[in-house]
Amino acid sequence: MRDSSARRRAAGLLASGLVALAVVTALPTGASAEPAPSPGATVGSGSTGWDPWPWPNWPWPTADPTPSQTPSQTATPRPSQSATPKPSTSPTANPGGNSKLQFSELVQEQNQWCWAATGLSIAQYLGKGANVSQNQFCLYGRGQASGTCPNQPAELSVVQQGLSRLGVSSGTEVDGSISFAQVKTEINGNRPIETGVYWTAGGGHARVIYGYDTANSSIFFSDPWGSSQRYQEMTYNSYVSNSEFRWGGSVYQIGA
Cα separation, 208 vs 159, whole angstroms:
12
For 17, counting Cβ atoms within 10 Å of its Cβ (0-12 exposed, 13-18 middle, 19+ buried), the class is: buried
For 176, counting Cβ atoms within 10 Å of its Cβ (0-12 exposed, 13-18 middle, 19+ buried), the class is: middle
Q: 212 φ, ψ to 5°?
A: -150, 165
Over residues 211-240, the mean pLDDT reads 97
pLDDT of residue 94: 59
User: Do the beta carbons of residue 183 and residue 209 sit within 8 Å?
Assistant: yes
Axis crossing angle, helix 156-165 with helix 134-141, rounded to the nearest 10: 110
Comparing 192 with 69, the larger pLDDT belongs to 192
pLDDT of residue 125: 98
pLDDT category at 145 given cuts 50, 70, 90 is confident
pLDDT category at 68 given cuts 50, 70, 90 is very low
| β-pairing verdict for 218-222 and 172-175 | unpaired
User: Do the beta carbons of residue 10 and residue 50 sit within 8 Å?
Assistant: yes
Cα separation, 121 vs 23, whole angstroms:
23
Cα separation, 99 vs 38, whole angstroms:
11
Over residues 232-241, the mean pLDDT reads 98
pLDDT category at 15 given cuts 50, 70, 90 is low
Over residues 168-178, the mean pLDDT reads 97
Write the DSSP string, 154-201.
Answer: B-HHHHHHHHHHTT----EEEES---HHHHHHHHHTT--EEEEEEETT
pLDDT of residue 71: 30
Predicted confidence (pLDDT) at residue 203 exceeds the cutoff of 60: yes
Predicted confidence (pLDDT) at residue 69 exceeds the cutoff of 70: no
To the nearest whole percent, how much of the chain has pLDDT over 90? 61
Predicted confidence (pLDDT) at residue 12 exceeds the cutoff of 80: no
pLDDT of residue 236: 99
Predicted confidence (pLDDT) at residue 255 exceeds the cutoff of 90: yes
Comparing 140 with 32, the larger pLDDT belongs to 140
Predicted confidence (pLDDT) at residue 212 exceeds the cutoff of 70: yes
pLDDT category at 98 given cuts 50, 70, 90 is confident
Please, what is the average pLDDT of the chain?
75
Cα separation, 228 vs 23, whole angstroms:
9
pLDDT of residue 3: 39
pLDDT of residue 81: 38
pLDDT of residue 70: 30
Rounded to 10 degrees, the C-alpha dihedral 33/38/43/49 comes to 50
pLDDT category at 113 given cuts 50, 70, 90 is very high
What single-letter amino acid sits at 23? Answer: V
Predicted confidence (pLDDT) at residue 246 exceeds the cutoff of 90: yes
